[in-house]
Structure 1
C-alpha cells in the first residue's frame, strides 16, 4: 500500500476553529482554518491586558486589567460568530489560576465570551506547551520551555514522549512585582528556582525549545543582528553562545532604549529584559547545546490533543504540502503520481537517499505545481516566496530553503538570492537541480494531468538513463521531451536512452 493511500484530492473544507488564550500578560484569539494536523491561522489578535500585574503582591487581578480583558472577550465573541467558528476552545493560565478573584473573573469572562473557559493547572499548561512543540517539531529531543507573564513551564521531551515537567512562578510580570522592577534582584529569584530544578540537569548538551512571545521577540532581534536571510521564526536556531550573548545584551537595556530597537514589539519593552534574563539563566544552569524557537505552544498543543491518533502521528510537513497541492495544483492526484514516479530513480538500483531526503523529495513533489496560475515569467519567484514564507512546520530552515529552491529551479528560475542559499551546502543545491530536472521531464510528458506517469518508466540501467514508453504512448516523444531527458541525464552523468515497449 502506498504511503499516500487514502489521501483525498478535493480542496480542504473550511471548518474554522478558535482558541482563546487568557494569559497573565495577553488575552489572545487565534482562529485556525480547521482542526487538522498543520492548522493555519486565518485570524490572530492579542490584547496586552496585563492580568498578572500585581497578583504576586496583592493576590488579586486588578480591575483595570479585568475590564480590558472582558472588553476583548466580548469583541472575540462577535468575531468568531462573524467568521463562522463552530468550536471555541478557551483556556486561562497562571493569573486566573492563582488570583483570589480568579474564579469570579472566569465567571464574567465566560459570559463575555459566550463559551466555557478551562483554567489550566501548571502541569496541564506544561503538557499542552510541550504537545505544541511536538506538533511543530516532531523530532524534538530536549526540554521545552513556555514563558508566560506569570510562570515558566519546563518539560522534558524524548522520542515523541513527554517526560518530567515542572511549573515555576518566575514569569516576567511576576518578577517585576517581586523584584520592584530591579533586574538584578529578579535574577537572584530566578537563580534560586532554577538551581533546584531537576529537569534542567537533563538539558545538558541537548536542545532547548523556546515558546512564548518574549523569546520570539528576542529571536527576531537576533535575526536582524545577524542579517539572517529567512524571516521565519519557527525553528530559528541560536547556539548556546549566541543565545547567552543576545540575552545578556537585551536584559540590560532600559525600556526607553528598547523602544528604539528595530524588529521588536514595542508592547514588550517592559517584560523583554526579564524574558532575556530568564533565557540566559536557563542556558547557564541547563548547559543546552542550542535554542530552537517554536511558534507552536499551548494553543497548538491544545488543538493537537483533539486530533484522532492517526492524524497526530501523520507527518506535519507532508500534511501541509498536501494541503497546498489540494488548493493550488492543477491536479493533486498528479502530484501523488509524481511522488511514486520519482521513486523509480531512487530505488535500490538507483540513486541513494536518506529517509529525510526521501521525505523532502515527496514534499517537493507535492509543491511542484503550485505556481502554475502565475504569469510564466513570475512562476519561479512566486513559488520561491510561497514556499520559503509558508507557515510550514516539521522542517528546519535549510530544508525549507531546499524545497523553495527545487521548485524555483523547476520553473527555470536562475537568479535566486545568494543570501538565502547560504543556508545550504553545495550538495543540497545539486540535489535541488536534479529534482527540478526530473520534475520538468515529468510535466512535459504528462501535461500535469494524472493517468500517464504510472504508465511511463524511468530508471538507471548500466550507464544510461532509460525512459520507457508503452507502444500506445510512443507519440508523446518529441523535441521537448528529448531535451528534458538529455538535461536530466547530463546532470546525472548518464547517457539518455528511450525504449518503446
Structure 2
C-alpha cells in the first residue's frame, strides 16, 4: 500500500485526521499514530527504538553502521504496521544526524523507497520552531523558553503571547556529548556557558517559564516525580520551581557510572545521559533564571504536524471536538454531557475557581456507569479522570476535575487521599464539591430521561438557589432528588427554593 502525505490545502476542519509521524533522530527513532489529530493530540500508538544513528558522529562524520542496520529493521516494522493499520497519511521528519552525516544519502534513499515518501530533514531553526509549536499544542498560553534536548542538538525558542520571537540550535545533544572526543564531562559546563553566552537574547529578558522537551529530560523529571512521591503520575505539565529542581540536577550531574546503575523508575537506555542533561539544564537555568520549570511530552512531532496542516484550526474548535471525542469514548454516544453542562452552568457562571473549561470536562468525564457500587465508582472515576489523555491540563486542574467527578458518585462527607487535597486551596476544594454536588443532583433527575435537564431550570438569585419545574412534572421529583438538591444548596451556602411553573 502506498503511503501518502496530507496536502496542506486539505480542509481538515470537519474531517477525522488519522495520521502518523516518524521522527528519525540521532539517538532514537519514534513513530506516533493518531486516531484523529483534530480531536485528540494524544497518540494511540507510540513506539520508540534506540538506534544511535549519530553515535561518534563528531569524530567520524558518518552514520553509525550498527545503528543503520537496526534502524532499517525498525523502519521496516513501522512500514508493516502502517500497512496493516491502513494508515495512509504520513509525515517523516529527521533532525541533526541526517543534516550532518556525510554518508546519509543511501539511508535517506532507503527510507524514502520504503515508505514512498520524502523525508523532511529539518534545519536547526526549523527544529526549534516545531518544538515550540508542539509545546503550544500541549499548554494554554505558552510564555517562556522552550528547550528541546535531543541526541544530536539542543533547540531553544522564546515564545511570547503565542509567538516565537527568537530561536537557535546548538550542538549539545546528549549522545553527541557522551561520545565527544574533545568535550568531556569535567569541562562540559564551561563549554555550555560559552555557547549560551553567544546567544545574547537569552540573558536580555527574564523567562517566567522554562518548558523542557525531549526523552532524557522526561526521564529526569520522572525520576524527580517518583522520588518526591508526587501523587499525579503524569510527566506532562509536571512543574517544579527553580529552587526545588536546582539542587536535584546538581546531585544527578555528579553521578558516576556506578551510581547511575542504582537509579530506579526510568529506562536503562536513558540513564547514561542523565548527568549530561542535568548539566545542560543547570546552565540554562543559570542564564535564564526561570520561575517554573515544566516538562512537556508534546514537541517536535506534534509541532511539525500542527505547523503544516492544522495552523488554521482555532483552539476553541479543537477543544469542542476533543470533548465530543472523549464523551464517545466513554460511551456517551448521545452527547448527554452537553445537557448536563447547560443545566448546571447558570449556577457556576463567573466561578473563577472552577472555570468553563473545567466545568465542561467535569460533565464529560463524570459519565460512568459500570454497574458497580457508588463508592467503587467514585474511586474508579477519580483515577480515570486524573489520568485522562488530555494535554492542556495542569496537574492541579486534573485534581480539581477528578474531585468533582469523585463527589458526583459519593456523598461529600467522603474524601479521596489527603495528598490530593493539599494541591488545592480551600476555594478550589469547595468549588469541586459544589460541581460534584450539582452533577450528583442532575443525575438524580435523569433516572427516567435526560429530557428533564432541558425542561427543568437551575439558577441562583440573591441568597437562594432555585429549581424551576414545569407543573406537569412535579411528581417526577423523588425523595432522592429532593435530598440531593438540598445538599447542593448547602454546598453553595444558599437556601434551596423550588418553583412550579405552568409555562
Give the TM-score taking structure 2 as reference length: 0.91
Q: Give 1:463 shift.
A: 2.8
Residue matched to 1:403: 401
Q: Please, which moves more after superposition, 211-220 or 108-117?
A: 108-117
Supply the distance in 2 between the matched residues of 1:202 and 1:362 (Cα, whole angstroms).
Answer: 40
Q: Please, which moves more after superposition, 145-154 or 325-334?
A: 325-334
Contact 1:134 1:140 (C-alpha < 8 Å) held by counterparts: yes
Change (3 A) 1:287 1:461: closer
Match of 1:363 among 355, 361, 364: 361
Q: Please, which moves more after superposition, 126-135 or 155-164?
A: 155-164
Residue matched to 1:134: 136
Change (3 A) 1:358 1:305: same
Contact 2:32 2:43 (C-alpha < 8 Å) held by counterparts: yes
SS at match of 1:314: helix
Matched, 1:375 2:372: yes
Residues 99-155 of structure 1: CA deviation (Å, up to 9, x unaligned): 111223211222244433111111111111101000001311001011111111101
SS at match of 2:269: helix
Residue matched to 1:394: 392
Residue matched to 1:463: 463
Match of 2:217 among 215, 218, 236: 215
Supply the distance in 2 between the matched residues of 1:191 and 1:198 (Cα, whole angstroms).
Answer: 12
Residue matched to 2:477: 477
SS at match of 1:245: helix
Contact 2:362 2:401 (C-alpha < 8 Å) held by counterparts: yes
Aligned length: 485
Residue matched to 1:182: 184
Q: Give 1:404 shift.
A: 0.6
Supply the distance in 2 between the matched residues of 1:114 and 1:307 (Cα, whole angstroms).
Answer: 20
SS at match of 2:142: coil
Q: Give 1:179 shift.
A: 5.0
Residue matched to 2:454: 454
Contact 2:59 2:181 (C-alpha < 8 Å) held by counterparts: no
Supply the distance in 2 between the matched residues of 1:258 and 1:318 (Cα, whole angstroms).
Answer: 45
Residue matched to 2:430: 430
Supply the distance in 2 between the matched residues of 1:65 and 1:331 (Cα, whole angstroms).
Answer: 47
Change (3 A) 1:409 1:202: farther
Residue matched to 1:3: none
Q: Please, which moves more after superposition, 72-81 or 371-380?
A: 371-380
Residue matched to 2:110: 108
Q: Give 1:448 shift.
A: 8.1
Change (3 A) 1:14 1:380: farther
Q: Give 1:376 shift.
A: 2.9
Match of 1:284 among 283, 286, 290: 286
Supply the distance in 2 between the matched residues of 1:331 and 1:74 (Cα, whole angstroms).
Answer: 38
Supply the distance in 1 between the matched residues of 2:462 and 2:426 (Cα, whole angstroms).
Answer: 26
Supply the distance in 1 between the matched residues of 2:205 and 2:399 (Cα, whole angstroms).
Answer: 29
Runs (5+) with no aligned partner, structure 1: 1-11
Q: Give 1:450 shift.
A: 4.0
Change (3 A) 1:13 1:52: same
Contact 1:465 1:494 (C-alpha < 8 Å) held by counterparts: yes
Supply the distance in 2 between the matched residues of 1:409 and 1:493 (Cα, whole angstroms).
Answer: 17
Contact 1:374 1:382 (C-alpha < 8 Å) held by counterparts: no
Supply the distance in 1 between the matched residues of 2:310 and 2:28 (Cα, whole angstroms).
Answer: 30
Supply the distance in 2 between the matched residues of 1:201 and 1:44 (Cα, whole angstroms).
Answer: 36
Residue matched to 1:6: none
Supply the distance in 1 between the matched residues of 2:158 and 2:207 (Cα, whole angstroms).
Answer: 13
Residue matched to 2:6: none
Change (3 A) 1:383 1:280: same
Change (3 A) 1:331 1:108: closer
Change (3 A) 1:374 1:30: farther
SS at match of 1:271: helix
Q: Please, which moves more after superposition, 106-115 or 251-260?
A: 106-115
Supply the distance in 1 between the matched residues of 2:89 and 2:480 (Cα, whole angstroms).
Answer: 52
**1:18-417 equivalence runs, <5 A:** 18-180=20-182, 182-201=184-203, 204-309=206-311, 311-314=313-316, 319-330=321-332, 332-347=334-349, 352-354=350-352, 357-369=355-367, 371-377=368-374, 378-412=376-410, 414-417=414-417
Supply the distance in 2 between the matched residues of 1:244 and 1:319 (Cα, whole angstroms).
Answer: 39
Q: Give 1:461 shift.
A: 2.8
Q: Give 1:332 shift.
A: 4.2
Give the TM-score taking structure 1 as reference length: 0.91
Q: Give 1:249 shift.
A: 1.2
Runs (5+) with no aligned partner, structure 2: 1-13
Q: Give 1:418 shift.
A: 1.5
Q: Give 1:315 shift.
A: 6.6
SS at match of 2:294: strand
